Amino acid sequence: MKVSIIGATGYAGAELMRLLLNHPDAEVVHVTSESHTNVPVSDVYPHLKGIYDQKLESLSDIKRIGADSDFIFIGLPAGHAMEIGRTLADMPTRIIDLGADYRFHDTAVYEEWYKVPHTHKDAERVYGLAELNRSKIKNAKIIGNAGCYTTASILALAPLVKEHLVDVHTIVIDAKSGVSGAGRSAKLPNHFPELYDNFKAYGVATHRHTPEIEQALTDIGGEKVLLNFTPHLVPMSRGILSTCYAQLREGVDEAAVTKAYHTMYDDEYFIRLRGLGAYPETKYVRGSNFCDIGWHIDNRTRRVIVLSAIDNLVKGAAGQAVQNFNIACGLDEKTGLALAPVYP
């Protein structure tokens, strides 16, 4: 399959190139960047020297790029992917958008949280979280790849919500991410001396991943979910740990909780159940497409606490995109993704 990467100079774009290098069935035909047009990729990302030395193109001629590609991966700020989606609507090219433009059923929710008018409301689109939506992804024209925090959070809570084991009005998600999640543009808050040996929260009650998590959990449980999601910045490059809290319904015990996880995930290669009482660590998944999950029950407060860890650039972005690509192509889902985590 011929694939192109639109917005290749963001961290997710670079990670896509890393992963696709080892994919036997994908050939990268175009890579684009508006800020570095005509420059070899390896000038912008010197770690790719000798591997990707091809020149970055502009997306101005997106129709030609689309015509050359079976799939395009898009890694652009909110509002841009939908323009491309509309432009390529009548072409056979399929789209995997790593941004948020195609993640919402209800584009009004998107517009409210992203402050951008949606211009492709009638797009046939599928929410790209393989473990929940595999069958729909198979034939989708447009896949709205799930976000990083959302992937970790939804996968952590899905079994509990699906089996109605928790009161969905009591969900609190306290999530922590490495700084690569903030992108590659240099700004004072992400200047090395400011963040190093430092820890902080941001986006309390306002982060855009909130409605995405709520949408997925509402879908799964059939009950409208509103929750608190609080992101934090960890002084490290990669990795997300999501700590999720919810009140157990009456009568729910450890066995029921544990069973829900096994029922839902035992056949999922990329989900590693660490079990009751376990502590996933972000380094255990670094560089890989795994999502590790452990759960705890506090009998004093009757709360369940779920911990999930992913690499935000892999299972939270580029790896998930390749997983969706594999499903959409009818390939083994692990193709190009059977990588061991990089430790230590």
Residues 278-297 that bind a copy of itself (CB under 8 A): 279-288, 290, 292, 296-297
- Do residues 30 and 10 make contact, with C-beta atoms less than 8 angstroms apart? no
Does residue 180 belong to the site contacting a copy of itself (CB under 8 A)?
A: yes
Does residue 312 belong to the site contacting a copy of itself (CB under 8 A)?
A: no
Restricted to residues 204-233, the positions that interact with a copy of itself (CB under 8 A) are: 204-205, 226-228, 230, 232
103 vs 176, which CB is nearer to a copy of itself?
Answer: 176
Please choose, from the candidates 218, 212, 207, 208, the residue with its C-alpha nearest in 3D space to the C-alpha of residue 158. 218
**Which is the catalytic residue, given 148, 244, 291, 329?**
148
Q: In angstroms, how far is CA 316 from the centroid of its own chain?
A: 3
Does residue 258 belong to the site contacting a copy of itself (CB under 8 A)?
A: no
- Do residues 297 and 276 make contact, with C-beta atoms less than 8 angstroms apart? yes
With CB under 8 A as the contact rule, which of the stretches 33-41, 249-257, 272-280, 320-328 interacts with a copy of itself?
272-280
The half-sphere exposure of 28 on its side-chain side, counting CA atoms within 13 A, is 25
Q: Which of 51, 67, 91, 108 binds a copy of itself (CB under 8 A)?
A: 51
Please choose, from the candidates 98, 90, 228, the residue with its C-alpha nearest in 3D space to the C-alpha of residue 168. 228
For residue 90, give every residue at least 6 positions away whose Cβ sits within 8 Å of its Cβ, in sequence order, or none. Answer: none
Task: Provide the token pair at 152.
Answer: 């970790």
Q: Which of 193, 250, 255, 330 binds a copy of itself (CB under 8 A)?
A: 193
- With H, G, I as helix, E, B as strand and everything else as coil, classify residue 207: coil
Does residue 198 belong to the site contacting a copy of itself (CB under 8 A)?
A: yes
Q: Is 244 among the catalytic positions?
A: no
Restricted to residues 101-120, the positions that interact with a copy of itself (CB under 8 A) are: none
Backbone φ and ψ for 138, nearest 5 degrees, come out as: -50, -45
Restricted to residues 138-177, the positions that interact with a copy of itself (CB under 8 A) are: 170, 172, 174, 176
Restricted to residues 8-47, the positions that interact with a copy of itself (CB under 8 A) are: 11, 14, 17-18, 21-22, 45-47
* Residue positions annotated with a catalytic role: 148
